[in-house]
Chains A and B, each alone.
Chain A
Amino acid sequence: MREEIQRIQQAMEREGYVTDRAVATAVHLSMTLGKPLLVEGHPGVGKTEIAKVLAVMQQGDLIRLQCYEGLDATTALYEWNYPKQLLHIRLQQDGDQSVATREADIFSERFLLKRPLLAAITHQGRPPVLLIDEVDRADEEFEAFLLEVLSDFQVTIPEVGTVRAEARPSVVLTSNRARDLSDALRRRCLYLWIDYPSLEKELRIVRTRIPGIDERLAREVTAFIHSLRRLKLAKVPGVAESLDWARALVVLHATHLDEELVRETLGCFLKDEEDLRTVSARLDAGELPALASPVA
């Protein structure tokens, strides 16, 4: 294994992110090739976490753009600070400057509200990490706009001119696959698919993230969640749910799982009423073996 990749993997583990070679290689290449990294996977498998860890590793700021339907340039890129402009005009009222000068004045960078994308481009100091979270929730027009920004990291503001990034930020995009992203966007990025972790890896994640957890409890929790992922559920619990649940159990001073405890805490990892019913029925039927015979 290339030394740098190994180092990235170690650095990520140090930051509490249990990872594997595929992730480390993708992150390494994204850094050396200077291309955005598109991370896809089921909800709750730690996609967003990659950007956070990357920011800590590079000692840069994390700038986050949360996408949603209807997101547009004024919330993603920039907006003029109108109240401030208005105040400024009032204050300058009696001055003898020409309209043109005053106009240039209020449409200057001082009056610009930088939204995440512009903030990432104009960021001073160490290049930041730009996290574009859940890009699949933004609409297609926004995706096209994003492509423009990502291809040359420059933005043209009519009143100010073209703003260019001095140091390119590292970009991480995440998607839950709510809709299919365009081939154009995919082509621009390196791609990483994160699947649900194996039993061993998930156990390692639980141990790393919840240091004081009882060994038996950790095993039983991961084994139980794994058996759930084989059922047909509307919202399959991810790693985030395993961690939530394990943390809750630690707070309850549990050292092992029993049926009653599971029933009481189902809400920690099942977020859908139908799923709750499905799993309760399985519990009634004694079909979830992880409880009866804990993994040795």
Chain B
Amino acid sequence: MSAVSADLVEHTARFCRRLRAEGLPLGPGDTLDATRALGSVDLVDREDVRLGLRATLVKRVEDAPLFDALFESFWTGPAPVPRNPPVVPPDADEDSEGPASISPRRRSVHAFQDLEELAIPAPSSREALGRQDFASFGEDELRAVTTLARRIARRLAARPGRRWKLSRRGEQVSLRRTLREALKTGGELSTLTWRRRKLRRTRLVILADVSGSMDLYARLLLQFLYALQNAFARVETFVFATRLSRVTDELRAPGYRDALGNLSDRVQDWSGGTRIGESLSAFLSSWPRLVDRRTVVVVLSDGWETGDPDVLGEALALLHRRAGRLVWLNPLLGSPGYEPLTRGMQAALPHLDVFAPANDLASLEQLARHLSL
């Protein structure tokens, strides 16, 4: 490995910062690797430099087009670069904006920024939450929903996992421990030690649409969210219309009324328009650690997307890859003759594991089947 000049180190660091700003998940270690890689290639050969940097800085193929575009503008000459090069040539952004080449993560970052700008705290729509709307819930209904939520929680709670632990009544003999015990009796296997699988914990993430078109179902839905949140510890609940809010803590309230009160303080765009794709992207970029293979993600929405359906498709594709299961509940699916023809629904369908109705209690009952991994 040959030494790399200070100028080159600095330029590499700047390049890494730029890539990071575009959403590539790079840490300080990667910058170091990139520099070391440059010490191991032919610096006069531009292709060598490109391939060396790409092997160290691109971690998934979707990021490669972005890398290539930025490399073009950043590493202009074959030789090490002049001091203080223009940080971003104006056309760099256009290059990376090519529709085919955008990685989902990158787009989600953008979506989130847009969302921040769009966030309109509209006092009038806050009114729309209308305590009178939801406050008129029937006690019986709530009880039924609660029972259902408990049943779902039970299904999610206990599942034998992959790891083992010793246990008095197990499903398998732990040979390791049994042999150790046998030493005391001269190799006689007098006591068998058992082991069983550790329980596997499933997590549930619910993303509920509370936009205007969902008003009809909002009451049932909120009851369901409330009941589930309080029946099961590993639920995270989010609601969205034009922007996403995490309402897990708001829903954890001693009574349904309290929960509604908390919600109306927290959520500001009830009954607004719907930007499903951007909300999901925002979820992915702000809560990336919530979703893994043991997570069931449930999207509750009618699919009336007013944003870009492509954004929705991309966000769902990413969710689908990360989550153990992706479920979309659509209240409209319960009505006869409904076909998921909206652009939003069309973009969503290829990425879903389960597409099911959610318009009444009966359909929510059915849901329990889909929720265990």
Contacts and interface: CB of A to CB of B under 8 A. Distances in A.
Interface of A: 1-2, 4-5, 21-22, 25-26, 28-30, 32-33, 35, 40, 70, 72, 80, 82, 85-86, 89-90, 92-93, 99, 102-103, 106-107, 139-141, 179-180, 183, 186-187, 189-193
A40 B63 CA distance: 13
Contacts of A82: 175-176, 179
15 contacts: A22-B51, A25-B55, A80-B179, A82-B179, A89-B182, A99-B183, A102-B183, A139-B293, A140-B294, A180-B318, A186-B25, A186-B59, A187-B30, A191-B55, A192-B55
Given A140-B293, A187-B25, A191-B59, A35 B179 contact: no
Contacts of A25: 41, 48, 51-52, 55
Interface stretch (B32-40, B79-87, B274-282): B32-40
B118 interface: no
Nearest to A25: B51
Interface size class of B (residues with CB under 8 A): 35 or more
A275 to B, nearest CB: 19
B95 interface: no
A70 B352 CA distance: 24
B42 A187 contact: no
A85 B60 CA distance: 46
Given A82-B179, A187-B27, 11 more contacts: A2-B40, A4-B40, A32-B36, A40-B61, A106-B179, A141-B163, A180-B318, A180-B321, A187-B29, A190-B56, A193-B64
B59 A70 contact: no
B11 interface: no
A179 B321 contact: yes
Contacts of A40: 60-61
Contacts of A180: 318, 321-322
A138 to B, nearest CB: 10
B80 to A, nearest CB: 16
Contacts of B61: 40, 193
A103 B29 contact: no
Contact of B60 (A28, A70, A80, A191): A191
A33 B40 contact: yes
Q: Is the interface of A mostly helix, strand, loop or mixed?
A: helix
Contacts of A99: 183-184
A29 B42 contact: no
A88 B183 CA distance: 10
Interface string B173-210: 00110011011101101000000000000000000000
Contacts of B29: 187
A2 B180 CA distance: 57
Contacts of A29: 37, 40-41, 52, 55-56
A1 B45 contact: yes
